[in-house]
Amino acid sequence: MRLGYYARLFAVQARASLTTAMQYRADFLVQGLTSLYWLGWNLVPLLVLYDDRATVAGWSFGAALVVMAHFVIVRGILEGAINPSLGAVVEQIRSGAFDYTLLRPADAQFLVSTARFAPWRALDVLGGVGLLIYAFVRLGHAPSPAQLGAGLVLLGAGLAVMYGLWIMIVATAFWVVRMDNLIYLLSSVFDAARWPASVFRGVWKVVFTFVIPLALMTTFPARALLGTVTWQAGIGCLVGALLVSIVARLVWRLALRSYTSASS
């Protein structure tokens, strides 16, 4: 029952995002082409690196491609499903529309997390999958069903970690935005309309797009597919993902409580 309810909500929100995206079809095309272009560029360093040798630090060209493919997939999901909602919720808090989210009888974290998608990023994901397939063709063998399963589970765990961190960042937005409310109230010299959004776009974008995905989300699932991940590391990933998810939920609730005690 609850599951059905949230599935319906998800469908409605996803459809709204898709409709919005369709209104900007030119964007759709441009974004799609740009991502393919970047996909190509991502390959250049690899090609240069492997131009005259068979392995680098023990990684063959095919294995490195597997990692690269994961990177592309993860980035597609990140920029398609997670970052847009981050932007949307910070904007909501800023404009006060978040109040309307809180007036809806559904979990606010769910509503916020599914508020906006960038559907054309699915192209990145498809490109990544294509690359993955090509990599295994190069390697000359396919992953076993068990390896495939482990890879998917670890990818899921990595995404859960990303999402948890993302929720915590949004939670900090409650405080940052509130702070800039105060600045506004006290008519200080700061131009309140400017900085928090750019803070999120600047530093966090770098951290989120490159550092964490590379380390956490790309290597482990890739190694699972290649069959070189240890049981201990795999379980460590799962436990880590669970912990981050729990902490994220707690931080979210704390932030919400602080919002409802002093929003304006």
Partner 1 sequence: MTIEVAGLSKHFRVHRRPPGLAAAVRSLWRRRYDTVKAVDDVSFTIARGERVGFLGPNGAGKTTTMKVLSGLLHPTAGAVRVEGHQPFRREPDFLRRITLVMGQKQQLLWDLPPSETYALNRAVFGVDPAQARQTIAELTELLGLAGLTDKPTRQLSLGERMKCELAAALLHRPTTLFLDEPTIGLDVAMQVTIRDFIRDYNQRHDATVLLTSHYMDDVVALCPRVIVIDGGRLIHDGDLRALVKTMLPDKLVSFTGGVPAEEVARLGEVVKAEGGRTTVRVPEARLREVVSHVLDRAGADLAVEDPPLEDVMRKLFKDKRAAAPAAPPAEPPP
Q: Which of 20, 34, 55, 144 binds partner 1 (CB under 8 A)?
A: 20
Residue nearest to ligand ATP (CB): 264
Q: Does 179 help bind ligand ATP (rule: CB under 6 A)?
A: no
| Distances in whole angstroms, Cα of residue 32 to Cα of each of 7, 29, 36, 80, 211 | 28, 5, 6, 12, 24
Q: Does 95 help bind ligand ATP (rule: CB under 6 A)?
A: no
Determine contact, residues 219/151, Cβ cutoff 8 Å. no
Output the six-digit token pair for 137.
């063709």
Q: Does 147 help bind partner 1 (rule: CB under 8 A)?
A: no
Q: Does 264 help bind ligand ATP (rule: CB under 6 A)?
A: yes
Of the chain, the end-to-end C-alpha distance in Å amounts to 35
Task: Give the residue among 73, 74, 56, 76 at the shortest CA–CA distance from 64.
Answer: 56
3-state secondary structure of 154: helix
Q: Which of 47, 57, 140, 261 binds partner 1 (CB under 8 A)?
A: 261
Minimum Å gap between C-beta 81 and partner 1 is 18
Determine contact, residues 109/252, Cβ cutoff 8 Å. yes
Q: Does 262 help bind ligand ATP (rule: CB under 6 A)?
A: yes
Instruction: Output phi, psi for 59, to 5 deg.
Output: -100, 125
Q: Does 18 help bind partner 1 (rule: CB under 8 A)?
A: no
Residues at the interface with partner 1 (CB under 8 A): 5, 8-9, 11-13, 15-16, 19-20, 23, 95-97, 99-100, 102-106, 111, 182-183, 185-186, 188, 257, 260-264
Residues at the interface with ligand ATP (CB under 6 A): 181, 185, 262-264
